[in-house]
Amino acid sequence: MTFIPHTQRERDEMLAAIGCAHIEELFADIPSSIRYPKLELPDRLSEPELARTLKELADRNQVPAPEMSFLGGGCYRHYIPATVDFVLQRAEFYTSYTPYQPELSQGMLQAMFEYQTMICQLTGMEVANASHYDGATSLAEACLLALNLNERTKIALAPGVNPRYRDVVETYLAGHHANIVTDNRQPCDQADLHDLVDEDTAALVVQTPDFFGQFEDLDGLAENVHAAGALLIVVTDPISLGLFRPPGECGADIAVLDGQSLGLPASFGGPHLGVFATRTSLMRRMVGRVVGRTSDAAGRRGYVLTLATREQHIRRERATSNICTNAALSALAASVYLATLGAQGLTKVARLCHAKAHYAADQLAQLDGCVINRHAPDKPFFKEFALSLPKPAAVVNRKLLDDYGIIGGYDLSVEGKGFDNTMLVSITELHSRAAINQLVSAVRDICA
């Protein structure tokens, strides 16, 4: 099936208007020696054949029910209210593009303005952009902003920053005379973090809850970082913000996070949502699209893309970033999610995650040879914890899957740093007590 409506008569009429006999003549500028290559592509599928083929491929994935999976590490299976996909399926939204023509795009623009507003409420920051690709690229852009702002050469990364985010920051920094400093010791307290900062440091990046699910102590950290002339960039988890202190209350200059938990499926890692929020003082250095409120000549309220002089299509090589296409539809999903749950709903999701994660940790801690957060037993945690086992995590995970249909936690031994026999167990509001008990009894049997 192709989607071309032209009849032969119409093609002929169009060619006559152009003054051409054949469509091929329109391609005369193209070097003839390599024109019309033979493409070795699969045979064309009809729509029913395609549907069957893709269903078969989808079925080749083993995807247990959400409560039978304990994988997190930056991507989570929270409940997605039905309102979210109802809105995402509105073709007026998903088949539109960047709202350069505001009068015809008021729906998306207002939704993005409301998204910015809710992100600021959630993070306690003052301004937010209309999205970035994912949490990792939001962080990388925040680091570039800091480097360009104070013309320093170091980015200090706390050891609890998601290792994949660290990788992306490293990739982005390759074109800059800058390097990353970090401290791999665990546990890492605030004094250790402060030791990472010196007069060459553009920013300190701290993640809380960190990659291992534990809260960092940020009290007074911002003051120290600012006294050294650096920015404090905080990476966080959006669900935790339903209940716990946001980066804005901790003196953060930039808050970034991955918004996948806010109404987006895991989708094998993307599309997710890069959230980027900062202070008004950094507004004109912020990256990406921003929506502002204004009015028409009759005084009717409306919304437009604004502060475009930061952006690539105006400022070209002097732009604050190259970003053009972002993750608007993901931001729309997050907006509908936050609006549907509301203040109390999000708090309740956070409470459920917290309580159930602690129940799971308490139960697992009672098993022989199992230890929770061995690397930092005193730090409070939110919805994830490091579970040290008497056997390699890979062995336990294989048995969990083969014999119990459970996808276990993320195997932390691949991250090195003394996490042998340790997995990162992630719990959301979708894990019932019964499901947690199933995990506990399976781990008990496997490790017996």
Partner 1 sequence: MSLPECDVPEVPLPDALVRDCNGLPSLSQQQVVRHYLRLSQHNYGVDSGFYPLGSCTMKYNPKISEACARLDGFAEAHPLQPEHTVQGCLSVMFQMQEMLKQIGGFAAVSLQPAAGAHGELSGLLMIRAYFKDKGEPERCHILVPDTAHGTNPASSTMAGFEVVEIPTDEKGNICLAALKAACSDKVAALMLTNPNTLGLFEQQVEDVIACVHDCGGLVYGDGANMNALTGIIRPGELGIDVMHFNLHKTFGAPHGGGGPGSGPVGAGELLRSYLPGPVVMHAPGSESRNETYSTAMPDSSIGRMAAHFGNFGVILRSFAYILLHAAEGLKHNAHHAVLNANYLKARLADDYPVPFDRICMHEFVCQGRPENTYARAFDISKRLMDFGFHPPTNYFPLIVPEALMIEPPESEGLETLDRFVEAMQAIAEEARTSPEKLTNAPVTLPIGRLDEVRAARHPILIDPASSTSS
Q: Is 91 in the site for partner 1 (CB under 8 A)?
A: yes
Candidate list 8, 29, 368, 378; residue touching partner 1; CB under 8 A:
29
3-class state of residue 179 by DSSP: strand
* Cβ at position 192, least distance to partner 1 in Å: 19
Enumerate residues 186-205 that contact partner 1 by CB under 8 A: none
Q: Is 323 in the site for partner 1 (CB under 8 A)?
A: yes
In angstroms, the CA 32 to CA 303 distance is 49
Which CB sits closer to partner 1, 131 or 201? 131
In angstroms, the CA 386 to CA 373 distance is 5
Build a one-symbol-per-residue string for 390-419: x at contacts with partner 1 by CB under 8 A, - elsewhere.
Answer: -------xx--x-----x--x---------
Q: Is 18 in the site for partner 1 (CB under 8 A)?
A: yes
Enumerate residues 355-374 that contact partner 1 by CB under 8 A: 355-356, 358-359
* Cβ at position 387, least distance to partner 1 in Å: 15
- Which stretches of 98-220 are DSSP H helices? 106-123, 135-150, 163-173, 190-195
- What is the CB neighbour count within 10 angstroms for residue 72? 22
Q: Is 52 in the site for partner 1 (CB under 8 A)?
A: no
Which CB sits closer to partner 1, 53 or 195? 53
Candidate list 143, 152, 154, 165; residue touching partner 1; CB under 8 A:
165
Enumerate residues 324-353 that contact partner 1 by CB under 8 A: 324-330, 332, 336, 338-349, 351-352
Number of residues forming the site for partner 1 (CB under 8 A):
204
Candidate list 87, 158, 225, 233; residue touching partner 1; CB under 8 A:
87
In angstroms, the CA 111 to CA 127 distance is 15
Which CB sits closer to partner 1, 155 or 304? 304
Q: Is 147 in the site for partner 1 (CB under 8 A)?
A: no
Candidate list 21, 153, 167, 403; residue touching partner 1; CB under 8 A:
167
Cβ neighbors of 144 (< 8 A, separation 6 or more) are: 172, 173, 176, 287, 321
DSSP state of 69: B
Candidate list 11, 185, 226, 391; residue touching partner 1; CB under 8 A:
11
**Burial environment of residue 318 by CB neighbours within 10 A (0 to 12, 13 to 18, 19 or more):** exposed
Enumerate residues 246-305 that contact partner 1 by CB under 8 A: 246, 248-249, 258, 265-272, 283, 289-298, 300, 302-304
CA distances from 421 to 54, 76, 293, 406, 437 (A): 37, 22, 53, 18, 21
Which CB sits closer to partner 1, 198 or 220? 220
DSSP state of 182: E
Residue pair 412/58 in contact (Cβ under 8 Å)? The answer is no
Which CB sits closer to partner 1, 174 or 191? 174
- What is the CB neighbour count within 10 angstroms for residue 343? 10
Element spanning 236, H or E: strand 231-236
* Cβ at position 49, least distance to partner 1 in Å: 8
Q: In 3D, which of 305, 308, 264, 333 has the Cα closest to residue 113?
A: 305
Enumerate residues 101-140 that contact partner 1 by CB under 8 A: 101-108, 110-111, 113-114, 116-118, 120-124, 126-128, 130-131, 133-137
- Integer Rg of the chain from CA: 25
Q: Is 151 in the site for partner 1 (CB under 8 A)?
A: no
Q: Is 21 in the site for partner 1 (CB under 8 A)?
A: no
Q: Is 447 in the site for partner 1 (CB under 8 A)?
A: no
Q: 319-332 burial by CB neighbour count: b if 16+ within 10 A, else e?
A: bbbebeebbbbbbb
* Cβ at position 344, least distance to partner 1 in Å: 7
